[in-house]
Amino acid sequence: MRFVHTADWQLGMTRRFLGAGRVGQAVGEAQARFAQARLDAVAALGRVAADEGAAFVVVCGDVFESNLVGPDVVGRACEALRSFTVPVLLLPGNHDPADAALVTRRADFARRCPPHVTVLDSPGVHEVAPGIEVVAAPWATKRPLSDLVGDRLRALEPAPDGVVRVLAGHGAVDVLSPDEHDPAVIRTDGCRAALADGRVHYVALGDRHSTWQLHGEPRIAYSGAPEVTSHEETDPGNVLVVDAGPDGASVRQVRVGRWAFAREDAMVDTDDDLAALDARLGGIAAPERTALRLAVEGTVTLRQRTRLDAIAEAHAPVFAALEVDAGAVVTRPDDADVEDLGLTGFAADAARELADAARDTADTEALDALALLHRLAVAR
pTM (2 d.p.)? 0.88
* pLDDT for the residue 67: 97
For residues 224 and 204, the answer to whether their CB atoms sit within 8 Å is no
Domain ranges of the chain: 2-255, 260-379
**Given the DSSP bridges, would you call strands 2-6 and 57-60 parallel, antiparallel or unpaired?**
parallel
* pLDDT for the residue 303: 84
For residues 308 and 296, the answer to whether their CB atoms sit within 8 Å is yes
Number of Cβ within 10 Å of residue 287's Cβ equals 20
230 vs 210: CA distance, rounded Å: 10
Q: Looking at the chain, which runs of residues are DSSP E strands?
A: 2-6, 57-60, 88-91, 117-119, 124-129, 132-136, 164-170, 202-206, 212-214, 217-222, 238-245, 248-255, 260-267, 290-300, 321-331
Q: Which fold has domain 2-255?
A: Purple Acid Phosphatase; chain A, domain 2 (3.60.21)
153 vs 147: CA distance, rounded Å: 10
* pLDDT for the residue 23: 41
For the chain, the first-to-last Cα distance in angstroms comes to 72
CA 247 to chain centre: 34
**Burial of 92 from C-beta contacts in 10 A (0-12 / 13-18 / 19+):** buried
User: Mean pLDDT, 10 residues at a time, over the chain (380 residues)?
Assistant: 97 81 55 93 97 98 96 96 97 97 96 97 96 98 96 97 97 88 94 97 98 96 96 95 95 97 96 97 95 95 88 93 92 72 71 72 69 65
* pLDDT for the residue 24: 40
87 vs 369: CA distance, rounded Å: 66
